[in-house]
Amino acid sequence: MRALPGGARVYIGIVVVSAVVVMLVGPYTGLDLRTLALVAVLFVVAESISTAVLTSVRAGISPSSAVSLAAVVLVGPVGAAVVGFASCLVIRRQSLIKRVFNGAQFALAAYAAGHVYLLLGGTVGEPGREDFPTIVIPYVAAVLVHSLVNSALIAALMWTLGDLWPKGPRGRFHWRPLLAVELASMGYQMLGLAIAAVWEGLGLVAPLLVLLPMFIARWTFAQQQDEVRAHEATLATLCQAVETKDYYTRGHCMRVAEGAAMIARELGMPAERVQKIRYAGMLHDIGKLGVPTRVLQKTGKLTEEEYATIKLHPTRGYEIVREISFLDEALAGIRHHHERLDGRGYPMGLVGMEIPESARIISVADVFDCLTSTRSYRKAWSVEEAIAELRACAGTQFDPRMVEALVRAVEREGWETPDVTEPPGGCYGSEAAEEAAAAVVTKDRGEVSAASEEGSSTESTASAEAVTGGRDR
C-alpha cells in the first residue's frame, strides 16, 4: 500500500475516533443484543460480496446498504453504528487502514441516518402494520442522509489524498458513473424497510428472502462484468497489434476511443451505446493490419498506388472484425469513419446522413486527435486551433452536431495532448520525410496544399490528415 499523505492519516484518525466515541457513548439500554448480532453478521456477509462496477472510475455496489438501513429501524442509531463498524470483519483482502476506515465510515453514516429517522417520527423495533405508511417518510430521509454522509466522508478522504483521487482514463474525475452507482446503492437501501417489516415473524430468514433475488442478480451482474473485461482485453490486444505495426497509432486508438465516448455521452446516448462507439474508436484503424508494413513505415511521400492501399484500411478493418458479435454498431463506425458529408470520403462515398452516426462521431474524434498530436513535420496544434479547424470543416467533412458535442465535452472535461517520441530508425523524422512534408504542409492559417485524386486543390489540414492518417502523401 502506498504511503498515505499526512493529511489523509489525520483525517482517517478523526473519522475512526469519532466512530469509536459514538459507539462507546451509546446508550445501549433496551437494545436487543440478539437482533444486533444477527444483523451485524448479515451485514458482514453482504459487504463481503460487493460487486465492482466497470466504469471510468473504480466503484462498487453491495447489498449491505439494505442491511445497514434495516439496522437503523431494528436497533436504532447506536446499534446501526455497531453494525456498520462490523465492516472491519469483511471477508475480503484489505489493508488494516482500509478496513478500519470503512468500518468507521459505515458507522457514522448509519448513526446519522438513525438520528434523522428518529427525529422525523420513526420508531425503533420491528415495524407493525399500524406503522405504515407513516414510517416511509422518516425511512426515506434516513436513506438520503446515509448516502450523503457516506459520500461526503469518501469525498473528504479523496481530497486529502490529492493525486490519488479516483479519475478517468485521461486523469480527470468522472462524477456521472459514481452518481449512477450511488443511485443504485440507494435502491438497495430502500429494501431495508422490507427486511425490518418481516423480521419479527421470520427472524434471520427475513433478510434472506428479501436479499436472495439480489444475490442472484449480483452473481449475474458479476458474470456480465467479467465478460465486459474479457471484451476489453481482446480489443486492447488488437490495438497493440496495430501499434506494433504502425508507430503513428501508438496511443492514438485509445485517445480516439475516449474522444468518441465523450461525444456520445454529450449527445445523451445510453451507456451501452457509448461503449459500442468507444469500441469503434479503439478499432477504427485495425484495417492497417492488412496494409503492407513497408507502406505504413515508408519515409517519404506515398505513391498513388500506395495511397490507394492505405484507403482500403476501413474496409479491411471491417472484414477483420465483422464476426465479433459484441461489436454491433461499432462495425459501421470502423467501416465508414473516413466518409465525408459532402460525399468525397471513402470507401463508399456516402453523403450526409447516409453515413452511420457512429462513423460521424469517430471521424471527428479521429481528426481532433491527429491535429492535437505532434508529428515529425509539425508540432501539435493547440486545442483551440484544432477546434477552429473542425468547425471550419463542419458541414462539408464533419457533422456539425458531432463537432459541437466534442467542443462542449472538451470545454468541460479538458483534453491532454500526447507526448510523442520519434520512432527509432527515423521513420517519421528522416530528411526525406521532412522534405516530403514540407512540400505538402504549409502552415498558413492552418491550411495544407494537397493533391486530390481529381487534380490539384486546397484542402484544410483536417481533411488532409484524416485522409492520410497524418502521413506524407
User: What is the three-state SS of 52-66?
Assistant: EEECCCEEEECCHHH
Please state the rounded mean pLDDT for residues 236-249: 74
Confidence of residue 62 (pLDDT cuts 50, 70, 90): low
E strands present in 10-69: 51-54, 58-61
Residue with the bigger pLDDT between 235 and 184: it is 235
Q: Which of 339-348, 359-368, 383-392, 422-431 has the lowest mean pLDDT?
A: 422-431
CATH architecture entry for 6-225: Orthogonal Bundle (1.10)
For the stretch 249-266, pLDDT in tens is 678 888 999 999 999 999
> Is the per-residue pLDDT at 471 higher than 70?
no
Cα–Cα separations (whole angstroms), residue 455 to 234, 441, 449, 451, 459? 42, 17, 12, 6, 12
Could you tell me which residues come within 8 angstroms of residue 346 by beta carbon, excluding any fewer than 6 positions away?
Answer: 311, 314, 338, 339
Cβ atoms within 10 Å, residue 360: 23
- Collapsing DSSP to helix, strand or coil, 111 comes out as helix
The separation between CA 403 and the C-alpha centre of its own chain, rounded to angstroms, equals 21
Name the residue ranges covered by the structural domains of the chain.
6-225, 246-468
pLDDT digits (tens, 9 = 90+) for 147-206: 999 889 988 988 888 754 444 444 454 555 556 666 667 777 888 888 888 887 665 666
Cell 415495524 locates to 127
CA dihedral 275, 278, 279, 280 (to 10 degrees): 130
370 exposure class (CB count in 10 Å sphere: 0-12, 13-18, 19+): buried
Q: Supply 394's cell numbers.
A: 463542419
Residue 249's contacts (CB-CB under 8 Å, 6 or more residues apart) are: 239, 242, 243, 285, 288
Tell me: pLDDT of 99 over 50. Answer: yes
Report d(CA 254, CA 239) in Å as an integer: 8
Nearest to 359 by CA among 451, 264, 250: 264
Contact criterion met (CB below 8 Å) for 244 and 156: no
Give burial (CB, 10 Å; 0-12/13-18/19+) of 323. exposed
- C-alpha cell recorded at residue 75: 436497533
Rounded Cα distance, 263 and 67, in Å: 39
Start-to-end C-alpha separation, the chain: 51
Strands (E), 9-109: 51-54, 58-61
| Percent with pLDDT over 70 in the chain | 74
Instruction: Give 327's DSSP letter.
Output: G
Retrieve residue 51's grid coordinates. 460487486
- Rounded distance, CA 255 to CA 419, Å? 12
Is the domain 246-468 a CATH 1.10.3210.10 member? yes
83-89 long-range contacts, Cβ below 8 Å, gap at least 24?
83/36, 83/39, 83/40, 83/43, 83/110, 84/43, 84/108, 84/109, 84/110, 84/111, 85/19, 85/23, 86/40, 86/41, 86/43, 86/44, 87/43, 87/44, 87/47, 89/44
pLDDT given at position 446: 33
Model confidence pLDDT, tens digit, residues 377-428: 568 889 999 999 999 999 999 999 999 999 999 998 888 777 554 443 333 3
| Stated pTM of the model | 0.60
Whether pLDDT at 450 is above 70: no
User: Which of the two residues, 363 and 310, has the higher pLDDT score?
Assistant: 363
Crossing angle of the two packed helices 96-119 and 64-85, in degrees rounded to 10: 110
For residue 444, pLDDT over 50 is answered with no
Give the residue among 105, 116, 121 at the shortest CA–CA distance from 65.
105
